[in-house]
Amino acid sequence: MQANAARKRDQFLHTLTLRPAVMGILNVTPDSFSDGGRFNEFAAALAQARRLAAEGCDIIDIGGESTRPGATPVSAADELARIEPVVAALVDELAVPLSIDTSKARVAKRAIERGAVLVNDVWGLQQDPAMADTIAAAQAAVVIMHNRAATYETLDIISDIRGFFDRSLKIAEAAGIPRAHIILDPGIGFAKTSRQNCEAVARLSELTDWGLPLLVGTSRKGFLGSLGTKGAERTLIGTLAANLAAAAGGASVFRVHDVAEHVTALSVFHTIRAARQ
């Protein structure tokens, strides 16, 4: 990793020790669940990234393959064709660091070579056997997200998440990824029932004993619409409420579509909590 990228990586990771951080979502896909097709054109993607940065996000997460249920998988070549020009154009223009949302080691490697500093792996190093070694060799940071192939109604979700993280952390250690470069994500909305998603947020504090930052991605997720009436909870106000609950439980990174509103809400939350302490 080049010196400038390493500096951006370290500044972002240091921010997590000081205050809540906001990760802005940039989907350069035609089929993502919330904004698919809006930013898959090059000019639109750059404009959206500039807007996210101007609104105060701490990192921009660029994804070239939809992870919504039922999405059509894409090849590494197609994923790279979507994300590489965007990463290359933004890395020198923006002071904000870039993250790559992928589970493919080949895509991660190329994105880091282009200047990305973090790999957001929705399979937590457990799908592509080359991923952990690729991240370690590049000295990138990584988000290890909980996931599985199927949803089980009766599962104790926190026990399952803890077992998954234990396996992923052993993979990371064997590859030589420093603990200081690791963020954990309980995978809200991935292979979980609405009840399990809610429970994962409510019991987030049970995942803090590793001493690693926790990321949550509740933004516009479908489970929010099951928590009240008329589905309004799935909109911005529901996402804000869920993320503030996650912040109270120990989360320090928030992956969101609506950056400006979260920067403000989390700043107020942090200021009030700091005054109490």
Residue 17 scores a pLDDT above 70:
yes
Whole-number Å distance between alpha carbons of 270 and 264:
10
Instruction: Specify whether 255 is catalytic.
Output: yes
**Is 245 in contact with 215 (CB distance < 8 Å)?**
no
Residue 32 scores a pLDDT above 60:
no
Residue 36 scores a pLDDT above 70:
no
Among the listed ranges 44-48, 193-197, 223-227, which one has the minimum average pLDDT value?
A: 223-227
Whole-number Å distance between alpha carbons of 237 and 254:
15
**Model pLDDT, residue 73:** 82
Residue 44 scores a pLDDT above 60:
yes
- Mean pLDDT, to the nearest integer, of 180-189? 97
Whole-number Å distance between alpha carbons of 101 and 111:
10
Collect all residues with Cβ–Cβ distance below 8 Å to 8 and sequence separation of at least 6. 95, 97, 117
Q: What are 179's two structure tokens?
A: 């603990």
Whole-number Å distance between alpha carbons of 48 and 39:
7
CATH of the domain at 251: 3.20.20.20
Collect all residues with Cβ–Cβ distance below 8 Å to 14 and sequence separation of at least 6. none
Amino acid at 15: T
Q: Domain of residue 16: give its range.
A: 3-276
118-121 vs 141-145, strand pairing mode? parallel
Q: What is the pLDDT of residues 137-171, one digit of tens each?
A: 999 999 999 999 889 988 999 999 999 999 999 99
**Is 27 in contact with 39 (CB distance < 8 Å)?**
yes
**Model pLDDT, residue 227:** 66
Q: What are phi and psi of 195, to 5 degrees?
A: -65, -45
Q: What are 35's two structure tokens?
A: 């904004």
Q: What is the pLDDT of residues 66-75, one digit of tens each?
A: 876 666 788 9
Whole-number Å distance between alpha carbons of 124 and 274:
32
pLDDT confidence band for 108 (50 / 70 / 90): very high
pLDDT confidence band for 231 (50 / 70 / 90): low
pLDDT > 70 fraction of the chain, expressed in percent and rounded: 91
pLDDT > 90 fraction of the chain, expressed in percent and rounded: 80
Q: Where are the alpha helices (DSSP H) in 94-175?
A: 105-114, 131-138, 157-175
The angle subtended at Cα 85 by Cα 82 and Cα 88, nearest 5°, is 135
Q: What are 230's two structure tokens?
A: 């008329």
pLDDT confidence band for 45 (50 / 70 / 90): very high
Catalytic residue among 109, 114, 192, 221: 221
Identify the CA nearest to 98 among candidates 115, 80, 85. 115
- Mean pLDDT, to the nearest integer, of 246-256? 97
Whole-number Å distance between alpha carbons of 223 and 259:
20
Whole-number Å distance between alpha carbons of 117 and 108:
10
Instruction: Specify whether 38 is catalytic.
Output: no
CA 6 to chain centre: 19
Predicted structure pTM score = 0.92
Catalytic residue among 203, 255, 273, 276: 255
Collect all residues with Cβ–Cβ distance below 8 Å to 63 and sequence separation of at least 6. 25, 26, 27, 28, 29, 32, 83, 100, 101, 102, 120
Average pLDDT over the chain, rounded to whole? 92
**Model pLDDT, residue 30:** 78
Among the listed ranges 55-69, 98-112, 130-144, 259-273, which one has the minimum average pLDDT value?
A: 55-69
**Number of domains present in the structure of the chain:** 1
More confident residue, 244 or 39: 244
**Is 207 in contact with 165 (CB distance < 8 Å)?**
yes
